[in-house]
Structure 1
Amino acid sequence: MRDAAATARPLVVIGAPSSAGSYAPGQEKAPAALREAGLVELMRREGIQVDDRGDVPGFRWRADRAHPRAMHADVAARVARATADEAGSAFARQSPVLVLGGDCTVELGIVAAAVETGGSVGLVYIDLDTDLNTPASTTDGALDWMGVAHMLGIEGTVPALAEVGHRKPLLKPGQILYFGHDNVTPPERGIIDALGIAGIPLGAVRADPEQAARRVLDGWARRFTHLLIHLDADVLDYLDFPLAENTRRNRGLRFDELMAALRLLLLAPNWAALTVCEVNPDHGEEDGSTLRTFCAALAQALARSRRLRAPELPDPAFSTSLR
């Protein structure tokens, strides 16, 4: 192991233990469970300098009968703002960020913080869903599949959440690229087509995960100052790797396919933040091996990142990955 930690850029870790936007409790346990599974120590063993800032105040899901079509929007906004504050201080120090969610709505905080730093922001959204629903288009009230709609300020979204940042909308359609999506409702498809949101669907990613990631790096990602990556564990086939909140089976990416793509995406020199969300620690093997496998693979993927390498060390991986 190369002793590069003293000069490498520190990775700021922020926990967002909230399931406010979820369908049920579980995701609020993920930040603690990932740490207990050894994620921070594994990253340090890989030579990454880690600045673990602990958790922002969280929330365990419960029924919000007063707002059945947009449950706990105020709480989700509060968690997102707290995450934005922590991430903003890290971005000001030019440190990359790893967010341990929590449900998908925490991404609004990361986007808000990145936008405030100046420069252009691009978001690679790894998820089987496109999260473009609104309280008007779906009746279940779970905000975790409405997050992108709130980033774009789609009509019918909840002001408390859509206005997390200092500008609305937080992003324009050209700043989002879907990666691995497959579950798209008719209203979402209408929005995607009308706004021209880019994407590489599940079938294309499964056919060649590395080539799909190279397509992102070679073209779309290069136009931005700050590249954000949103990793929703729901993109995984639950039978192959039962870690996510959603238990969809025989549908989604295999774990090795996801990690093959993620390893390349993290090589982007403009990568600024990775958000991991929708992990339910109550799923997976009872002995904790599923979480430990996830943590080990994530630590190894992050260790390859150009942003986390000592400046004086060569980075042959990036130069060869785009050929």
Structure 2
Amino acid sequence: MTPVPLGLLGVPSSAAAHAPGLERAPAALRAAGLVAALSAAGRDVVDHGDTPVARWRHDPPTTTVPHDVDRVAAGLQEARAAVLGVLAAGHAPLVVGGECTVTLAVLAAAADAGRDLGLVYVDGGQDLHLPTDHADEPIADSMGVAHALDLPGAHDALAGLGPRRPLLAADRLAFVGYADEEEDVHGLVPATRLPASRVVAAPEAVAAAATHVSGPDGFLVHLDVDVLDFFALPVADVPTYGRGLTPPVLARLLAALVRADGFAGLVVVEANPDRDDEAGTHLRALVALVAGAFAVDP
């Protein structure tokens, strides 16, 4: 069976991040050979271009709301419309950011299209922070899942992004590969949890366990590159030192997820071009890792 064409979409935004830089990632990943690598792996790719660039700006909050939240939400609405176009074309979305909040836009677009998806969240953390708990650092890219779940204290502009609220139920969510401390400080998120230690031991078994959260229309994979050990592949905007996955382990995990029944799309976020060396070595390695997961005949 011929795989569905991949619909590549860039969301060049650092608006919800800790600082500028991530807005340059979609262009940098294309320049590192993403489309050619996917084609060489045997996949048809249709490039749907980019949403408008949204660079981080200094906008200190005066209350316990996410930094620059109205601009973040406006950018996500643009991304939501663009992803809906990818889905309407019959393509499997491959969305490259940008920061972690872009997954909210993909979930919203899927709901717009009448699709009920689970979410496999491959990330060094869980992004369950809430503005009310993090008034000292109200950065939205550490709050995406909290808003998808519409946890108490979530901001309306993000939690109400899509056609339903919440966008996601906790039993349709698997956290995979995290090495940070547990973020469900209020005990409100009974999701599947598969930490980095389990992934290292058995990547394919973890992938199989994670796909149990699939909805009637499959599951979306979110990949934050901070799940990688920064010493092994230094591309993440916020590094994880000594506790993350190695590239070979992540490659096995991602390949198993992409080839599983129900796979419905991939979001790749938090790769900062400023982390790369002058030769572009590390982004090319990331491109090879992602493209390898999509290989038709691995």
**TM-score, structure 2 length as denominator?**
0.93
Match of 2:189 in 1: 195
- One-letter amino acid of the structure 2 residue matched with residue 13 of structure 1: L
The answer (yes or no) to whether the contact 1:29–1:280 under 8 Å persists in 2 is yes
Match of 1:281 in 2: 273
The answer (yes or no) to whether the contact 1:227–1:270 under 8 Å persists in 2 is yes
- One-letter amino acid of the structure 2 residue matched with residue 18 of structure 1: S
- One-letter amino acid of the structure 1 residue matched with residue 74 of structure 2: R
Q: Deviations over 1:112-169 (max 9, x none)?
A: 0112222421000001111111111112121101000110111112111111101111
Distance 1:267 1:67, change over 3 A: farther
Does residue 1:47 correspond to 2:9, yes or no?
A: no
Q: Deviations over 1:196-248 (max 9, x none)?
A: 1111111111122122112224x343x53131000001111111110001122
Does residue 1:302 correspond to 2:294, yes or no?
A: yes
Q: 1:63-82 to 2 correspondence within 5 Å?
A: 63-67=58-62, 69=64, 70-82=66-78
Does residue 1:146 correspond to 2:146, yes or no?
A: no
Q: Displacement, 1:171? A: 0.9
Q: Secondary structure at the match of 2:184?
A: helix
CA distance, structure 1, for counterparts of residue 274 and residue 54 of structure 2: 17
The answer (yes or no) to whether the contact 2:60–2:68 under 8 Å persists in 1 is no
Count residues with an aligned counterpart.
Answer: 296
Does residue 1:210 correspond to 2:210, yes or no?
A: no
Does residue 1:270 correspond to 2:262, yes or no?
A: yes
CA distance, structure 2, for counterparts of residue 91 and residue 269 of structure 1: 18
CA distance, structure 1, for counterparts of residue 62 and residue 54 of structure 2: 16
Q: 1:185-264 to 2 correspondence within 5 Å?
A: 188-191=183-186, 193-217=187-211, 219-221=212-214, 223-264=215-256
Distance 1:175 1:152, change over 3 A: same
CA distance, structure 2, for counterparts of residue 68 and residue 11 of structure 1: 41
The answer (yes or no) to whether the contact 2:79–2:106 under 8 Å persists in 1 is yes
Match of 2:130 in 1: 134
Q: Displacement, 1:49? A: 1.3
Q: Secondary structure at the match of 1:135?
A: coil
Say which of 8, 24, 31 aligns to 2:19.
24
Gaps of 5+ in 2: none
CA distance, structure 2, for counterparts of residue 210 and residue 125 of structure 1: 15
Distance 1:179 1:37, change over 3 A: same
CA distance, structure 1, for counterparts of residue 160 and residue 269 of structure 2: 21
Q: Displacement, 1:45? A: 2.1
Match of 2:87 in 1: 91
CA distance, structure 1, for counterparts of residue 53 and residue 153 of structure 2: 26
Does residue 1:155 correspond to 2:152, yes or no?
A: yes
- One-letter amino acid of the structure 1 residue matched with residue 238 of structure 2: N
Distance 1:8 1:264, change over 3 A: closer
The answer (yes or no) to whether the contact 1:68–1:140 under 8 Å persists in 2 is no
The answer (yes or no) to whether the contact 2:9–2:94 under 8 Å persists in 1 is yes
The answer (yes or no) to whether the contact 1:30–1:101 under 8 Å persists in 2 is yes
Say which of 93, 103, 107 aligns to 2:103.
107
The answer (yes or no) to whether the contact 1:114–1:226 under 8 Å persists in 2 is no
The answer (yes or no) to whether the contact 1:20–1:61 under 8 Å persists in 2 is yes
RMSD: 1.8
The answer (yes or no) to whether the contact 2:192–2:210 under 8 Å persists in 1 is no
The answer (yes or no) to whether the contact 1:80–1:107 under 8 Å persists in 2 is no
Structure with larger Rg:
1
Q: Secondary structure at the match of 2:48?
A: strand
